[in-house]
Amino acid sequence: MPVLSSVEGSPISRGYGVGGGKDALPRRLTKQERRGSRPLYCPADANVLLPPQTPVPYRLKSRTLNPDMPILDTLGRPVRDLRISVTDRCNFRCVYCMPKEVFGHDYAFLPHNDVLTFEEITRVARIFGTLGVEKLRITGGEPLVRRDIEGLVGQLASHTGIDDITLTTNGSLLPRKAAALRAAGLRRITVSLDSLRDEVFKAMNDVDFPVQGVLDGIAAAADAGLAPIKVNMVVKRGLNQDDVVPMARHFHGTGHIVRFIEYMDVGATNGWRMDDVLPAADIVRLIDRELPLAPITANYPGEVAQRYRYRDGGGEIGVIASVTQPFCQGCTRARLSADGKLYTCLFATEGFDVRALLRSGASDANVAAALSSVWQARTDRYSEVRTSLTPRSRKVEMSYIGG
């Protein structure tokens, strides 16, 4: 088995699926090739180019790589999904994500120059595409507050070779943006909505934004041809559990898929307690009593939501049980923050500085080498090891790396 360090022995020099010169990336493999035999793109001279301040755990080490295997982390998980946070700003202040008392008027959001440009984001996504990523999710903060966001969608759709591009939004700006996003290449969309009662929803978004505004956004997305439309509802015991059945009833028969999400200890500012978690099993029982459900198989390995269909043919729902039924074993998600840090878990405490690499003049091959090494060193399974102590660790904020 070849041990790769420095140039010799590198598959690149043997013309391995290569496009242009030594630093060029291999052509993007077809889904069949990625699922079939897996010629691996490998780093050429990665040990040389990483900026000195790169944290030691991520400094590239010689790795035993099998060219026929995908890039897998230490638990054998490939990287399939890249979640891209394009801003740490939002026009909402949801209490479980961006509590106002922390993210107030004097909160220091990322300076403009620290935020990745669309070209930088597209470059990272394209390189991840050669490493196995098949799906891009644009997140935030609230991605639609980033100017000309449809421009980024267009770049991702035409320059990464990745077809499956989706976006998660609070829906407030969708009536203005839906058609342009669809025209730019967005296929489907996820809209957050935590209650159909104005008094509850306004209390949860904490900016007095009405339910109708989000429903108008969902309608605009449907009119624009975005499909499927998923509606994410975070369920917090003592706050909106009485809205679970009305939410299911409202979207039953519409074709839109509601996903009920267990309240999670993301970040370090939402005051999470286990007592506030309504387990997914209880959520399913609540709905099943009124709208009988039957479990259905996942769409693909590693799908986050457990799927259920309505027995009367009224469509399907999903439940995301990160707290009570962790799914880390199938987690194929990498996250890129708006300022270019790569996180390998939603509950991570530190990330790898990709932006420094991008702005240091590194070649595509070097960037790919660094990304592969970060992923291959990944051991994350936070939800499986969550204890009464872990919520207190200084985890990265969800509003910073997107859900």
Among 38, 137, 259, 381, binds ligand SF4 (CB under 6 A): 381
Single-letter residue type at 22: K
Q: What angle (nearest 5°) sits at the alpha carbon of residue 49, between those of residues 45 and 51?
A: 155
Q: How far is the CB of 346 from ligand SF4 (least distance, A)?
A: 4
The C-alpha atoms of residue 342 and residue 361 are separated, in whole angstroms, by 18
Specify the stretch interacting with ligand SF4 by CB under 6 A; choose among 60-68, 137-145, 189-197, 375-383: 375-383
Binding part of the chain for ligand SF4, among 15-23, 48-56, 84-92, 341-349 by CB under 6 A, reads 341-349
- By the rule CB under 6 A, 298 interacts with ligand SF4: no
Tokens of 354: 């990709």
Can you read off the two tokens belonging to residue 392?
A: 């207190």
Q: Is residue 377 near ligand SF4 by the rule CB under 6 A?
A: no
What span, in angstroms and rounded, lies between the C-alpha atoms of 305 and 321? Answer: 8
Shortest Cβ distance from residue 335 to ligand SF4 (Å)?
Answer: 8
The one among 40, 173, 221, 345 contacting ligand SF4 by CB under 6 A: 345
* 139 φ, ψ (degrees, to nearest 5): -135, -165
- Give yes or no for residue 72 binding ligand SF4 (CB under 6 A): no
Nearer to ligand SF4, 75 or 183 (CB): 75
- Binding status of residue 73 toward ligand SF4 by CB under 6 A: no
Locus of tokens 């009570």? 324
Question: 336: closest CA among 40, 118, 180, 147?
Answer: 118
| Cα–Cα nearest to 337, from 361, 312, 356, 320 | 356
337 lines the binding site for ligand SF4 (CB under 6 A): no
Rounded to whole angstroms, the Cα distance separating 403 from 401 reads 7
Pick the closer one to ligand SF4 by CB: 57 or 210. 57
Question: Which of 139, 172, 190, 383: binder of ligand SF4 (CB under 6 A)?
Answer: 383
Binding flag, residue 347, ligand SF4 (CB under 6 A): yes
253's torsion region: left (phi>0), alpha (psi -120 to 50) or beta? left
Minimum separation from the CB atom of position 103 to ligand SF4 (A): 22
The residues binding ligand SF4 (CB under 6 A) are 322, 327-328, 331, 333, 345-347, 380-383
